[in-house]
């Protein structure tokens, strides 16, 4: 059913391990990169003495469109990941959809952030909700790029182990042939 949907249509090619690894990668990335937002939210929550909810404090941190910048930053590696040369005949699934989504989200994020920063007051009052939605889309696109990247890239440790086993096999065969010949 999802095979025709861009970005998620090739998930059937991926293993659960690929998905789990991508989830770990994105969680570590977001924990580090978003620390000013969630730690700032904790600081504001403490300063407000519990009169505001934690989410209200986080929204105060990002009320000027900062999540749009985070969205663009989250998507920056996607272009590299999907356009990278691979030693595999398979191309990156939905390559141009990934690149197009990255460009559109980055341009929209840049425009909205700029409008917010110069205080033109032409954007709707629910800009924080819009920024959270754009950020969630950016994180999802980055996640799927990581999943496909994990699927398409060979495991270096596995390749080394395979090469060692192949060498050992060839060496044993060569020794047997040499012993039989003598």
Copy the structure tokens of residue 181. 């010949």
Q: Is the pTM of this model over 0.85?
A: no
71-101 burial: b if 16+ Cβ within 10 Å, else e: bbebbeebeebbeeeeeeeeebbbeeebbeb
**Structure confidence at residue 5 (pLDDT):** 64
**Structure confidence at residue 152 (pLDDT):** 77
Q: Of 1, 4, 6, which Cα lies nearest the Cα of 141?
A: 6
Number of C-beta neighbours around residue 112 at 10 A: 20
Q: Of 8, 1, 28, 32, which Cα lies nearest the Cα of 145?
A: 8
**Structure confidence at residue 71 (pLDDT):** 92
Q: What is the pLDDT along the chain (182 residues), one digit of tens a residue?
A: 556 666 666 667 778 888 898 899 999 999 999 999 999 999 999 998 878 899 989 988 888 788 999 999 999 899 988 887 666 656 778 888 889 999 999 999 998 888 887 877 666 777 888 889 999 999 999 998 998 888 877 665 666 777 788 888 888 888 888 888 77
13 neighbors 144 (Cβ within 8 angstroms): no
CA distance 116 to 124: 10
CA distance 15 to 21: 10
């Amino acid at each position: 059913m999802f095979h025709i949907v861009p970005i998620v249509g090739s998930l059937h090619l991926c293993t659960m391990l690929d998905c789990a690894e991508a989830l770990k990668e994105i969680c570590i990335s977001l924990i580090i990169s978003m620390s000013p937002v969630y730690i700032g939210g904790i600081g504001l929550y403490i300063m407000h003495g519990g009169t505001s909810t934690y989410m209200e404090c986080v929204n105060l941190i990002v009320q000027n469109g900062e999540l749009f910048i985070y969205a663009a930053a989250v998507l920056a590696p996607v272009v590299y990941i999907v356009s990278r040369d691979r030693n595999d005949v398979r191309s990156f699934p939905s390559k141009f959809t990934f690149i197009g989504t990255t460009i559109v989200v980055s341009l929209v994020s840049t425009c909205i952030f700029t409008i917010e920063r110069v205080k033109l007051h032409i954007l709707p009052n629910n800009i924080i909700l819009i920024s959270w939605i754009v950020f969630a889309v950016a994180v999802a696109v980055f996640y799927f790029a990581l999943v496909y990247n994990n699927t398409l890239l060979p495991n270096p440790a596995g390749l080394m182990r395979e090469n060692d086993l192949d060498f050992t096999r060839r060496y044993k065969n060569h020794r047997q042939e040499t012993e039989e010949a003598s």
